[in-house]
A and B are shown apart, each in its own frame.
Chain A
Amino acid sequence: MSATVPQAQAPREREIDSPTNASRPLVEVDHVSKVFDVSAPWLNRVIERKPRQLLQAVRQVSFNIARGETLALVGESGCGKSTVARLLVGLYRPSSGRVLFDGHDLANIQGDSGLALRRRMQMIFQDPYASLNPRWRVSRIIGEPLQVHRLIEDPQAMRARAEALLTQVGLSATDADKFPHQFSGGQRQRISIARALASEPEFLVCDEPTSALDVSVQAQVLNLMRALQKTRKLTYLFISHNLAVVHHVSDRVGVMYLGSIVELAPKARVFSAPAHPYTRMLLDAIPDISMSGRARTPVGGEVPNPLNPPTGCAFHPRCPHATPRCRSETPLLRDPGDGSLVACHAVEENRISVVA
């Protein structure tokens, strides 16, 4: 945990709008929501009398990421974690709320004025087969950010920079002349990392960067990312569905369910004493490789359809502790008394103990 500054000072710092204030969080996400219009085409709506359909992918999400910290977001398919990742680098605009990067509102990230801001954040995608242009040589792929941000104009200098980046991610300088298909999945992900590092960003958003990789290759990539974080003082948002990987890389963990953060706490707290029933369920569902033979509560039910979310707490149909209040009233994120945040009526009412 980097937590550079005591919590109490944060609001005062926010008043002074100094863009390079080292003590404020690098990323501030303030009540961000994202709604997608998934309606049928206009003509079908008219003829078949179908209503307009809106999908709330992310609802009222707030969190900060401190400089040098790794915040992990976990959750199952469709929980909105990848949408959050895209909101944070400006690939989506929030439907409401705002994202601040080093004090600058990402609403202004488009166009020339946002260029300087965009240089400071980069993204690594899940599928290294889809995220590299198959018709470009590696040197051009890695050089593209340098060109876009006009960091290096001279072709020879650019080439030298690409080669240096390749060696930093554990590939060889001669690989610069190859095409992506000449590499394995793990090597391609290294190329993606080299490309992301080209513009010397401070903030990397990693959306399931190792999910497509075999476990021994995953270990190589995770070790590389950790080493780079140390040498370059990078800040990571790490999106994953794999809790073991999250346990390995993160400082703090946010657990998402159906578009909302249900628990946000330091890693040690989430894994040793999960508070929210969904977090407990997720932890229970991990296959136990140590074969300790621990008793597992059977997990019931499935993630509901986000087009038709349950009333009240979205988790109530699967929750063993649900009460009428859970079915009617949406719980808000609250501090159960240890500095973390949990959105659960049962925890708030002390119906379930926070300590596992």
Chain B
Amino acid sequence: MSDRPLLEVRHLRVEFPSRRGTLVAIDDVSLAIEPGEVLGVVGESGAGKSVTGAAIIGLIEPPGRIAAGEILLDGRRIDNLPPEAMRQVRGREIGAVFQDPLTSLNPLYTVGRQLEETIRAHLPLDAQAARARAIELLESTGIPAAADRINHYPHQFSGGMRQRVVIALALAAQPRLVVADEPTTALDVSIQAQIISLLKRLCREQGTAVMLVTHDMGVIAETADRVAVMYAGRIAEIGPVADVIHRPRHPYTVGLMGSIPSMDGGQEQLAQIDGAMPRLNAIPRGCAFNPRCPQAIDRCRTDRPELIKAGASMAACWLHEQQVSA
């Protein structure tokens, strides 16, 4: 491995044309993931976190399209690959885990057949070896009696077990990056903890990097090395997970952290951010957060802030530039 990041997203812009004009779902997003690193991406509904993940695995629903920027995997551009070449990258080099395990599995095929098909599509193995590998994968995800369960259909598995199968599928070809979009949101807390520790363990063993998209800051705190906080299609703040959680720099992150009910203190009142995230067709000028920001200054209403160094993190906020120059 060189000093080059495994994945690099540069100035990505994703647009969705609609009857009422073009909606910009992702606006000038840049991020990088190192080999073996877990990058968390958090944000509220509509912040663009899932679209960022979809762009990386080349699965943006038309008419949505990447309008600008580039995505590089190991230095090679993958955002402009023809569909067939992208199919090879997806699965072989980038695995995907989605929120709902039922829709990511084909209900008409046994899980064994789906696993073997994926393995043989990407690895030079014969049918027997592929089957052995499939059983091994199911065992590694903690499915009991894997040799029997391999002949079962998805509906014969519980939600947690299905998500284990999906993780086995994503890791079948030993990809170097897994994009996991809300992998535990549909699951109960006790199952969520199992799936998170499974994903963590398998990726550590194989040295797989993970982009973990979720709205749950708790999951991020437990899993990620670094975290990107998204707001209205932009990155508001990105940095090491402990810094973002304990020393948030962007006023939005400060509000977000304050609004999470905590288990330690008996706070009477949760800190709340008034208002709601703007719709994509009404993103304010300047900083997208300025109408809700308690610290907004005139400049926030006119100029859009770039990511500026703030402590160990980077925050897209003019307040930090003042501190640097002062």
**A interface list, Cβ under 8 A from B:** 76-77, 184-187, 214-220, 222-223, 226, 241-245, 247-248, 271, 281-282, 284-291, 296, 298-300, 302-303
Contact = CB atoms under 8 A, between A and B. Distances in A.
29 contacts: A76-B188, A76-B190, A214-B45, A214-B277, A215-B259, A216-B272, A217-B44, A219-B259, A219-B270, A220-B259, A222-B261, A222-B270, A223-B269, A223-B270, A223-B272, A241-B189, A244-B218, A248-B270, A282-B189, A285-B192, A287-B221, A287-B222, A288-B221, A289-B217, A298-B197, A299-B194, A302-B160, A302-B191, A303-B188
B261 A286 contact: no
B193 interface: yes
Nearest to A268: B266
Interface residues of B, number: 44
B205 interface: no
Contacts of B158: 302
A226 B269 contact: yes
A286 B218 contact: yes
A244 B262 contact: yes
Given A245-B261, A289-B218, A219 B267 contact: no
Interface string B252-291: 0001101111111001111111101100000000000000
Given A214-B45, A289-B221, 14 more contacts: A76-B188, A76-B189, A216-B256, A216-B259, A219-B261, A226-B268, A244-B262, A248-B270, A287-B192, A289-B218, A289-B260, A299-B193, A302-B160, A302-B191
8 smallest beta-carbon distances between A and B, as pairs: A287-B218, A219-B259, A248-B261, A214-B44, A76-B188, A219-B270, A285-B193, A244-B261
B219 interface: yes
A216 B253 CA distance: 10
| A interface SS class | helix
Contact of A287 (B193, B258, B267, B271): B193
B264 A290 contact: yes
A287 B245 contact: no
B196 interface: yes
B272 A220 contact: yes
Contacts of B255: 216
A282 B190 contact: yes
B228 to A, nearest CB: 16
Nearest to A278: B190
A288 B258 CA distance: 15
A244 B263 contact: yes
A300 B196 CA distance: 13
Interface string B226-266: 00000000000000011001100000000110111111100
Contacts of A217: 44, 276
